């Protein structure tokens, strides 16, 4: 598998009824030089993910990341949600159904399928230690 570098340019100004100008987005692809493949060996085997906000979208991202073997959820930050409620909402989703794996709380962290996910309640995400 290879990654490729590509430059994308946007925007073209056109006149409409001579009264107003609108910017019409379009993509014009051009490479600044011949495209060279980059080997994917520079990419980590598993990408560590931190989720800021554990609302509906945060929980869906967490589910998708846990089901993907190339990603690992290492931290969740939500200053407005209690840990027990966080575990409950993750396990029982009224739209997507019950989570198939195990969901527990232990020592202030969420444990999903045996993997510890550090939980934080920082209003400012910059306060979260990056080594989590």
Domains of the chain, by residue range, sit at 2-39, 47-127
Question: Which CATH number describes the domain made up of 47-127?
Answer: 3.40.50.720
Alpha helical stretches, state H, 1-132: 56-67, 83-91
Residue 95 has pLDDT above 70, yes or no: yes
How would DSSP label each residue in 20-49?
EEEEE---EEE-SS----EEGGGS-SSEEE
pLDDT at site 48: 92
Least confident of 23-32, 71-80, 104-113: 23-32
pLDDT in tens, 33-74: 666 665 656 667 889 999 999 999 999 999 999 999 999 999
Query: pLDDT band at 9, cuts 50/70/90?
Result: very low
Can you tell me the distance from the alpha carbon of 41 to that of 72, in angstroms, rounded to the nearest whole number? Answer: 18
β-pair type (115-120, 71-77): parallel
């Amino acid at each position: 598998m290879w990654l490729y570098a590509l430059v994308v340019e946007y925007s073209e100004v056109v006149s409409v009824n001579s009264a107003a100008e609108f910017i019409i987005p379009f993509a014009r692809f051009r490479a600044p030089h011949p495209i060279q493949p980059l080997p994917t060996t520079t990419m980590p085997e598993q990408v560590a993910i931190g989720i800021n906000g554990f609302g509906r979208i945060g929980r869906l991202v967490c589910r998708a990341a846990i089901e993907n073997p190339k990603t690992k959820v290492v931290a969740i930050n939500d200053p407005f949600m209690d840990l027990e409620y966080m575990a409950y909402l993750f396990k029982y989703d009224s739209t997507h159904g019950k989570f198939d794996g195990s969901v527990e709380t232990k020592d202030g962290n969420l444990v999903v399928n045996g993997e510890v996910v550090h939980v934080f309640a920082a209003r400012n995400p910059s306060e979260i230690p990056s080594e989590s």
